[in-house]
Structure formats: structure tokens, C-alpha cells
């Protein structure tokens, strides 16, 4: 048993501040009434309505396409970037620039990407969102893999060479497996970030094929319906799962 | 004294130099390593021994000089094609592979048939005493077991030369003594030439047939353990290998005149008279409670079980004189005692001296104490 300390009070309040809105949202998604001002009992009807909504379903499919594609792209590029940075340069500047898209304000990236797409006369659509998401996804994957790389014993690769493996064999059989937990964690992070990304998607989307966050935005403009609460709850569940998975994997890597 | 069988050098290192920026890691190093011997590179950290090892493995390239193996240029061969294997200080076991997979890794790269790989892995596991642990992962093993795996992984390739980088440094003392014997036995059994890098002189002495002492990138002396201990080539070796009492003074016809102490008996050739010289006396040669000699106060007594190390403060000497006596000490802290060392009889372990300023000009044939008087 831990004894009570007054320090627990601000800690508790902070968590309340962080999670109360989310808790309310989740509860409201199960409210039978259609306004948040009354509680008419537990009901999953809004989830049914949600799945019947064609716009939502299409938005979900679009989001999954974008997230999957962006994750695949950023995992490959981010891993190579991390390994390359660690091995071939000691420049702090290059290092910083590589992970900058991860911390840059979304709106800056969004405007920049839109300006770039316009300049090169790139047609906007799902592919343009996918590429845009790969930009910050790559930075996140690179950052996570670099952390992992710092934990890997550098002599493993030398040992592999010493035992007769070529550089390529060493990369495939030793480097990649040692980095695997970091790569998977980075990929999960990139996926969950892409899943609910709105600002960049909004700027780089074409006239058709909106992603789920854009669909939600257009629904919210006419007032928050409990249907949206249900949708948000589902997204929350998915994001949470991925973030926790990513965290566990990166913790696992440290014990190896 | 038992000399290792003389045979053709397996590895010949000629005039190898390597710099890192301003630091000279290796400076004109020349060494021959013979077929089948257990060779040690001994030196304090930063003396260049690891750089030399990495040059042999192929992870470093010398700025100048040549290295041949069986007479063929080794430097032209990339690390993965050299018949040389390295056991890393960290062991560098692949964490995502089982013990068996770790050991099989090198054989798979050689495209050895699967059946043969299995046989050879089983065989080497038996050799290092790890049968039954083939399916374990490295993190499920103890330090000593990991070391055995690293060793097995290197010797299963049957290299011409096995390099060991501080092989025992990560082990605790008891396991270390055990592995020391084990390494010797293994080297004998597999007949591979071993080159071990260590900063621990006791380890080098107990393992190796021959030892090269390195300091600041230079080879100071190459010798078998006993001559290395008994006839150090210069002051550095005398100080680094084993404990020694080093006393500096001026050579006179009677011995060594040390200011504030007097004239100490010492072997020196007549033409060295007037030179500054350093006398080296091994602690086990120093006698306590003798009739003559120097007078001092016991400052420290350390009991090691079989022996006791006594430090005696002698007026005029800047370092306390060390004496090693068998069993428990007869003196106590603060006791006044007389110390001396027999200098008359020509015995192994004699005190030797050499001119300080010409330390590098050693070895002259060691002067017998009898020549001194």
C-alpha cells in the first residue's frame, strides 16, 4: 500500500483534465438519447447507424489505404535514413533536418506540401495524401529506429563480417533483425498518426475521396451527433492499441 | 626453460604504423607469430594492442607496413574472406539467434552442407562443454557460457588464426581462473594459433607461450613469460610486468649511490660508472628483518593467503619498498624493520639495472651480480 501524499492530488487532477473529455465522449457514444444533455440509457444504436453510413465507410476505406501506403513507404525510407545517418555522417545538422518533419507544425507542412504539389502540377487525390503522410511518417520512423540503433552493439555487424558474411548478408541477417522491434514500433506509430491526421490531409486531398477525419469534420460542421461520438470512440480504441503496442515493443528492445 | 617449438612464422607483421589524427596508435611494429603458439599482446589501455588486433581481423588498415599470413599478403583480403576469426570483448553474440544458430552462422556463410554444419556445431558444443544449451538464446546464458559460445562460434570455422580481445575481462574472478585453464586446454586441443589481447599481465603470463609488451604504439619486448619477468628489456617492461621496486641513483664502483639512502649493492659494468641508473628489485627478493641493509617503518601489510605483501617506508626513497613474504607476516604496522636483498649469488630473479638514459639500448647481456664487486 502506498501512503497518501498531497502530491497525488495535482497528479490526479492532471489525469482528470487529460482524460475526462475522452471519458465523456465514450460514455455519450453509448447514450440512447441524441443530445448530450440527457441520459436515456445504454444503447449501441449509434454504432449501427455509423456502419450504415456510406460516407463514413468510404472515408474509413480511404484512410486505411492512405495509412497503409504511407506506413509502408515511411518504414522503408525511415529505416534506411536512420541507418545511413548513424553510419555515414556525424553531422548534427543532417540529423536534425531528418527528424524535423516530425516536430514541424502540421499547418506548415500542409501549406508547404500544397504549394509544392501546385508548383509541380501534381493532381491531388489519395496518392497525394499518402505521400504527404509519408513525409512525417518517415521522420517518426527514423527517430524511433535511431534510438534502437543506439542500443545495438556495433560489434554485431563486425562479428558477422568476421564470420564470413558479405555487407549485404550482414544487413539482412544481422542489422535488420536487431532493429526489428524499433522498425515495428516506428511503423505502428506512423500508422496511428496517419489514421487520424486531419490538417495535412485536408490541404492535400483532392475533391473526391476524403479520409475519415475529413468526413468527420464535414459532419461536425452541422453539429456533433452521437454517431460521431461512436466513430471517435472507435478511432480512439485503434490509436490506443497501436500506441501501446509501439511502446511495449520499444521497451522490449531495451531488454535485449 | 621450455621453449615452444620453433617453426616458420604464421603471421609476419613488418613495420606497421597507424595514426588516428595526432595519436600514434602503432609505430613501426614488427612481430612474428609462429604456427600453433599462444601469443599475447600485453599493454596498458591505449598502447595500440587492440588496433593491431583489428588490423589482423581486417577492420582497420595500417597507414604503412605489411602483414602476411602463410607468406601471402593479408591486408589485401577483406575481413569476411580472411582465415582469421575474432572473439570480441563484448562477445557480440547475435541476440535474435539461438546458440546453435550463432555457431552455425559462419559455416552457413561458407555454404557448408547442412548435415556437416549440424555435426560440427554439435562437436564444438561438446568441446566447449555446452552440450544441451544449443537452443538457448544468448540472454538466457551466464557470462561464462556466453564466452564459451563466442569461442565456439569462432573456432568452428577452423581459422588459421584466432584473435581474442580481452577474453576474460567480463568474467568474475572465479570463472576467469576456470576459463583461463579452459582456453589453454582448447588451444592445445584444436591446435589453432591464438593471439590474445590483454592489459592484465598475470593473464598474459599464465596463458601465453610468448608475450609482446606494447607501450605507446611500440613493441618494447617479445619474450616467453619467464625471461620477460626475469630480464625485462627496459624500464617500462620492468615496471609493467609484475611488481618491482625501482630505485634510481648514480652508478659508482661500489654499487648504486642513491641520495639520502647510501650505496646499494647492484650489478653494473665498470664502464657505466657515473651514469644514472635504475635498480629493479622484485618484491619476492626483498628480505625483512635482515642484519644489514636499510632501515624502514612498516606502512602497510596485505595478507593474500599464501603470501603477504609488506610495504616499508625507507627514508630517502619516494616510494615505499615492497616485499612479498611467504605465509603470514612476521611484522606489524608501525614496526621498525631492516630490509635488504641478496645480491651476491647469481640466481634467477636477480636484481638487474640499466642506464636510465639509455633504456632503449637494452638488452645488453644481463650483468651477474658477481661482476659488480
Q: Report which listed range, A49-53, A68-72, B18-22, B365-369, is most confident.
A: A68-72
- Residues B55, B106, single domain; the answer is yes
C-alpha cell at B124: 564444438
DSSP characters for A170-200? HIIIIIHHHHHHHHHHHHHHHHHHHHT--HH
CA distance A135 to A113: 10
CB-based contacts of B147: which residues, under 8 Å, 6+ apart? B91, B167, B168, B170, B171, B179
- Residues B24, B118, single domain; the answer is yes
Mutation target among B79, B147, B149 for the A interface, most CBs of A within 10 A: B79
- Residues B164, B195, single domain; the answer is yes
Side-chain-facing half-sphere of B62: CA atoms under 13 Å: 28
Give mean pLDDT, residues A213-238.
84
The residue out of B165, B195, B230 marking a domain boundary is B230
- Residues B77, B126, single domain; the answer is yes
Give mean pLDDT, residues B152-165.
93
Pairwise CB contact (< 8 Å): A256 & B59: no
The answer as to whether B347 is a domain residue is yes
Q: Which domain range does residue B264 map to?
A: 243-282+343-373
- Residues B99, B28, single domain; the answer is yes
Pairwise CB contact (< 8 Å): B157 & A164: yes
pTM: 0.77
Mutation target among B54, B87, B105 for the A interface, most CBs of A within 10 A: B105
Cis omega (within 30 of 0) on the bond before B363? yes
CA distances from A54 to A61, A201, A220, B155, B308 (A): 11, 20, 16, 66, 90
- Residues B51, B187, single domain; the answer is yes
Other CB atoms within 10 A of residue A40 CB: 10
Nearest CB to A155 within list B85, B90, B153: B90
pLDDT one-digit tens code per residue, A177-220: 989 888 998 999 899 899 889 999 999 998 888 999 898 888 88
The answer as to whether B350 is a domain residue is yes
- Residues B44, B106, single domain; the answer is yes
Pairwise CB contact (< 8 Å): B105 & A160: yes
CA distance B184 to B225: 15
**B139 neighbourhood in chain A, CB within 8 Å:** 255-256
Question: Domain with B315 in it: what CATH number?
Answer: 2.40.50.140
Strands, DSSP E only, in chain B?
A: 9-20, 23-34, 38-42, 64-69, 72-73, 84-87, 161-165, 193-198, 210-215, 218-223, 245-251, 256-258, 262-264, 276-281, 287-288, 294-303, 307-314, 321-326, 336-340, 352-355
Other CB atoms within 10 A of residue B94 CB: 21
- Residues B29, B64, single domain; the answer is yes
Pairwise CB contact (< 8 Å): B153 & A158: no
Residues A29/A233, Cβ–Cβ less than 8 Å: yes
Amino acid B256: pLDDT: 77
Give the residue, A16 or B285, on which the prediction is more confident: A16
Q: Is the pLDDT of residue A92 over 90?
A: no
pLDDT band at A81 (very low <50, low <70, confident <90, very high): very high
**B106 neighbourhood in chain A, CB within 8 Å:** 163-164
Q: Is the pLDDT of residue A44 over 50?
A: yes
Q: Go through the domains of chain A in sequence order and give each one's CATH number.
A: 54-255 (1.10.3720.10)
Q: What is the mean pLDDT of chain A?
A: 88
Give mean pLDDT, residues B24-37.
92
Residues A183/A145, Cβ–Cβ less than 8 Å: yes
The answer as to whether B236 is a domain residue is no
Give mean pLDDT, residues A15-44.
87
Amino acid B183: pLDDT: 87
Classify strands B262-264 and B256-258 as parallel, antiparallel or unpaired: antiparallel
Pairwise CB contact (< 8 Å): B59 & A158: yes
Question: Domain with B188 in it: what CATH number?
Answer: 3.40.50.300
A118 at interface of B, judged by CB pairs closer than 8 A: no
Give mean pLDDT, residues B300-312.
89
Pairwise CB contact (< 8 Å): B80 & A153: no
Q: Which SS3 state, helix, strand or coil, does residue B295 take? A: strand
- Residues B251, B331, single domain; the answer is no
Q: Which parts of chain A fold into alpha helices (H)?
A: 8-28, 45-52, 54-88, 92-103, 106-119, 126-151, 155-162, 167-170, 176-195, 199-204, 212-220, 226-255
Q: Is the pLDDT of residue B355 over 60?
A: no
Which residue matches cell numbers 588459421?
B160
* % of chain A exceeding 90 in pLDDT: 42
CB-based contacts of B212: which residues, under 8 Å, 6+ apart? B31, B39, B40, B41, B42, B219, B221, B222
A158 at interface of B, judged by CB pairs closer than 8 A: yes
The answer as to whether B63 is a domain residue is yes
Mutation target among B56, B98, B102, B109 for the A interface, most CBs of A within 10 A: B109
Burial A87-99 (b: 16+ CB within 10 A, else e): eeeeeeeebeebb
C-alpha cell at A183: 522498425
**A163 neighbourhood in chain B, CB within 8 Å:** 80, 85, 105-106, 109, 153, 157
DSSP characters for B84-131? EEEE-TT----TTS-HHHHHHHHHHHTT--HHHHHHHHHHHHHHTT-T
Amino acid A251: pLDDT: 65
Closest CA to B229 of B217, B238, B216: B238
Q: Which SS3 state, helix, strand or coil, does residue B290 take? A: coil
* % of chain A exceeding 70 in pLDDT: 96
The answer as to whether B111 is a domain residue is yes
Mutation target among A156, A162, A182 for the B interface, most CBs of B within 10 A: A162
Amino acid B356: pLDDT: 33
Amino acid B345: pLDDT: 35
Pairwise CB contact (< 8 Å): B109 & A158: no
pLDDT band at A253 (very low <50, low <70, confident <90, very high): low
The answer as to whether B3 is a domain residue is no
Amino acid B269: pLDDT: 64
pLDDT one-digit tens code per residue, A140-169: 999 999 988 888 888 999 999 999 999 999
The answer as to whether B168 is a domain residue is yes
- Residues B73, B201, single domain; the answer is yes
Q: Is the pLDDT of residue B120 over 90?
A: yes
CA distance B205 to A145: 45
pLDDT band at B33 (very low <50, low <70, confident <90, very high): very high
A180 at interface of B, judged by CB pairs closer than 8 A: yes
Number of separate domains in chain B:
3
- Residues B171, B308, single domain; the answer is no
State the ipTM, two decimals: 0.78
C-alpha cell at B96: 535474435
Pairwise CB contact (< 8 Å): A164 & B57: no
The answer as to whether B1 is a domain residue is no
- Residues B261, B359, single domain; the answer is yes
Pairwise CB contact (< 8 Å): B59 & A160: no
Amino acid at each position: 500500500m502506498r501512503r497518501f501524499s498531497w502530491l497525488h492530488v495535482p497528479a490526479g487532477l492532471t489525469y482528470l483534465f487529460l482524460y475526462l473529455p475522452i471519458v465523456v465522449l465514450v460514455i455519450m457514444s453509448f447514450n440512447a438519447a441524441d443530445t448530450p444533455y440527457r441520459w436515456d440509457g445504454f444503447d449501441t444504436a449509434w454504432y449501427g447507424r455509423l456502419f450504415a453510413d456510406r460516407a463514413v465507410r468510404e472515408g474509413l476505406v480511404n484512410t486505411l489505404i492512405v495509412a497503409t501506403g504511407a506506413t509502408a513507404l515511411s518504414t522503408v525510407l525511415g529505416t534506411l535514413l536512420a541507418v545511413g545517418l548513424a553510419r555515414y555522417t556525424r553531422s548534427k545538422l543532417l540529423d536534425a533536418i531528418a527528424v524535423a518533419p516530425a516536430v514541424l507544425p502540421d499547418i506548415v507542412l500542409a501549406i508547404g506540401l500544397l504549394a509544392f504539389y501546385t508548383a509541380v502540377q501534381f493532381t491531388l487525390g489519395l496518392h497525394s495524401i499518402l505521400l504527404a503522410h509519408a513525409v512525417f511518417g518517415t521522420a517518426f520512423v527514423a527517430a524511433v529506429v535511431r534510438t534502437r540503433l543506439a542500443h545495438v552493439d556495433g560489434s554485431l555487424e563486425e562479428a558477422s563480417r568476421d564470420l564470413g558474411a558479405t555487407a549485404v548478408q550482414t544487413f539482412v541477417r544481422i542489422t535488420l533483425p536487431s532493429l526489428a522491434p524499433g522498425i515495428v514500433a516506428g511503423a505502428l506509430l506512423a500508422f496511428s498518426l496517419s489514421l487520424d491526421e486531419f490538417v495535412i490531409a485536408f490541404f492535400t486531398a483532392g475533391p473526391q475521396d476524403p479520409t475519415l477525419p475529413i468526413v468527420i469534420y464535414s459532419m461536425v460542421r452541422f453539429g456533433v451527433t452521437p454517431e460521431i461520438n461512436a466513430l471517435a470512440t472507435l478511432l480512439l480504441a485503434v490509436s490506443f492499441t497501436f500506441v501501446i503496442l509501439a511502446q511495449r515493443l520499444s521497451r522490449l528492445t531495451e531488454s535485449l | 626453460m621450455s621453449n615452444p617449438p620453433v617453426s616458420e612464422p604464421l603471421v609476419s607483421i613488418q613495420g606497421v604504423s597507424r595514426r588516428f589524427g595526432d595519436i600514434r596508435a602503432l609505430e613501426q611494429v614488427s612481430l612474428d607469430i609462429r604456427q600453433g603458439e599462444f601469443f599475447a599482446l600485453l599493454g596498458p589501455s591505449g598502447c595500440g594492442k587492440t588496433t593491431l588486433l583489428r588490423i589482423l581481423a581486417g577492420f582497420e588498415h595500417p597507414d604503412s607496413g605489411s602483414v602476411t599470413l602463410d607468406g601471402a599478403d593479408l591486408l589485401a583480403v577483406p575481413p569476411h574472406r580472411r582465415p582469421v576469426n575474432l572473439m570480441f570483448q563484448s562477445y557480440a553474440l547475435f541476440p535474435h539467434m539461438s546458440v546453435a544458430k550463432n555457431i552455425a552462422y559462419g559455416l552457413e556463410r561458407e555454404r557448408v552442407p547442412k548435415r556437416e554444419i549440424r555435426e560440427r556445431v554439435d562437436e564444438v558444443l561438446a568441446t566447449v562443454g555446452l552440450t544441451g544449451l544449443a537452443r538457448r538464446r544468448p540472454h538466457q546464458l551466464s557470462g561464462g557460457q556466453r564466452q564459451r559460445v563466442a569461442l565456439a562460434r569462432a573456432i568452428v570455422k577452423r581459422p588459421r588464426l584466432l584473435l581474442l580481445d580481452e577474453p576474460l575481462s567480463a568474467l568474475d574472478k572465479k570463472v576467469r581462473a576456470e576459463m583461463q585453464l579452459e582456453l589453454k586446454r582448447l588451444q592445445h586441443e584444436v591446435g589453432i594459433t591464438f593471439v590474445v589481447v590483454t592489459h592484465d599481465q598475470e593473464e598474459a603470463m599464465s596463458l601465453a607461450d610468448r608475450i609482446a609488451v606494447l607501450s605507446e604504439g611500440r613493441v618494447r619486448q617479445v619474450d616467453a613469460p619467464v625471461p620477460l619477468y626475469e630480464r625485462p628489456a627496459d624500464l617500462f617492461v620492468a615496471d609493467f610486468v609484475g611488481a618491482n621496486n625501482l630505485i634510481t641513483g648514480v652508478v659508482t664502483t661500489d654499487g648504486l649511490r642513491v641520495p639520502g639512502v647510501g650505496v646499494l649493492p647492484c650489478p653494473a659494468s665498470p664502464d657505466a660508472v657515473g651514469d644514472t641508473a635504475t635498480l629493479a628489485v622484485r618484491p619476492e627478493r626483498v628480505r625483512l628483518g635482515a642484519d644489514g641493509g636499510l632501515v624502514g617503518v612498516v606502512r602497510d601489510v596485505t595478507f593474500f593467503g599464501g603470501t603477504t605483501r609488506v610495504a616499508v617506508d625507507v627514508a630517502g626513497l619516494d616510494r615505499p619498498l615492497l616485499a612479498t613474504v611467504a605465509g603470514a607476516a612476521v611484522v606489524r604496522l608501525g614496526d621498525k624493520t631492516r630490509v635488504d636483498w641478496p645480491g651476491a649469488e647469481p640466481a634467477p630473479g636477480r636484481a638487474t639495472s640499466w642506464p636510465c638514459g639509455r633504456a632503449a639500448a637494452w638488452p645488453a647481456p644481463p650483468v651477474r651480480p658477481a661482476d659488480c664487486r
